[in-house]
Amino acid sequence: MQFAPLYPLIHRVVHPFFPDCLWQGQPGSSTIALTFDDGPHPEHTLQVLEVLDRYQIKASFFWLGILVERFPEIARAVWQQGHWVGIHGYRHTPFPQLAPAELQQDLERTQQAILQACQLEPQQICQISDVRPPYGFFTPSVLQRLQEWHYRPVMWTVVPEDWVRPGVQTATQRVLNQTRNGSIIVLHDGYSGGEDAAETAMLLIPQLLEKGYQFATVDQLWQQRSRAQMVLQN
């Protein structure tokens, strides 16, 4: 059974209870974010990069630490091409299953793997602070710890369930049907569903551009959110 039709409903129910997560960009802006989970992968990720380069857009990648260590040159290529990078856990273990010390070690190990692979300076560690929990699972206590440790929790609004490989056309249509202003779209370029990532992106991106959407990184959505909050406070 596929649950793709339920994800928009789940988003509307859960989103208001966890406002400190980045669930979406600004509803009044045509800016959206295209994100990829579960990489880097030596083939799928490179294929995705070719598509992104063709359309000259920037995406955001949420990585598994163990794969960053295994394929550092792929991680470095993503970073050098100007895409945004975040943490998706070291081995894709659900965060609520980890004790606090284990969770902190999991995040730090992945963060350090990214720093080393992308050849960043230690002071650039603050640029690797976005975290997307594996499977989207978290609890209020997990969220509190992420914030205490100065990580930024990132979720999504559009999930075509591409990891079960419903077909490129089906995944593409699901995204087109669900995307609205500020949407955060999640595809997968790892070992589950990554076989279709580049082809899906190739179909999807020009149609979203034709609809008038503009692509931004997750970091740019955080910046939009900060500016909007400042306007409300003044």
| Residues labelled catalytic | 37, 188
Token pair belonging to 58: 């920037």
CA triple 68-70-76, angle to 5 deg: 45
Q: Where are the alpha helices (DSSP H) in the chain?
A: 7-14, 44-55, 65-70, 72-80, 100-117, 140-148, 168-178, 197-210, 218-233
* CA pair distance 144, 18, nearest whole angstrom: 11
Q: H/E element holding 89?
A: none
| Amino acid symbol at 26 | Q
* CA pair distance 66, 61, nearest whole angstrom: 15
